[in-house]
Structure 1
């Protein structure tokens, strides 16, 4: 079963269970997926869907940080619940050590030497680790690898 089919089935399950919060989150995800399909005139595959889920998760984390700073615990709780639902659609993530090892291999493969090569290395890292690793963690690993 593809990820798109799984999301559709989860939406139906949430409807039947009358789980309004979960349903709202899944509908938001499906709207983002549909928007991408319409804008780019493509059929999304699992990799593209994981990219959309990653983007939505990043938005939720940013919102949680902003709401926490403003003392809005009600909104923090809502965003946290949405974050938990969205994280259920991500594949198993690589650990920090695995990301660092993959980044080191990419740096060696490209022959990158310093901070000036950051863009070139990050492009390769995004291509290889998309959906498998947290890009903020990968970016930190690239910075560390290039500062040596």
Structure 2
């Protein structure tokens, strides 16, 4: 193991963690950590912390309940975003496909910068208002 800390996952705050976890689970093709799945027996879903994993079982994202949250007003800064995700896709066709899918899942478009030939992108907000970028990955590191 490295002598440095490693990123375990990114945590996103939400007033209700299950709906936001579902948004990111669907958008990114993730799965719940064992034990974090929604109840199937009709019992209440009282989860206040959920972890999402990739296909290899690595932690990618966690969503936690908080008692209050103020929706970021990006691109203004009176209520800062504080954190955002950059999600890369391979080409413009994928960019359009994933934008539509994100909106179907509840995201809203904040900025369209697809005219930029160097790095076409959309800035969207998840259902809680956290901005995230969906962009065509460039060859730059």
Q: TM-score scaled to structure 2, two decimals?
A: 0.27
Normalized per residue, the structure richer in helix is 1
State which structure, 1 or 2, has the greater radius of gyration over its C-alpha atoms. Answer: 1
Normalized per residue, the structure richer in strand is 2
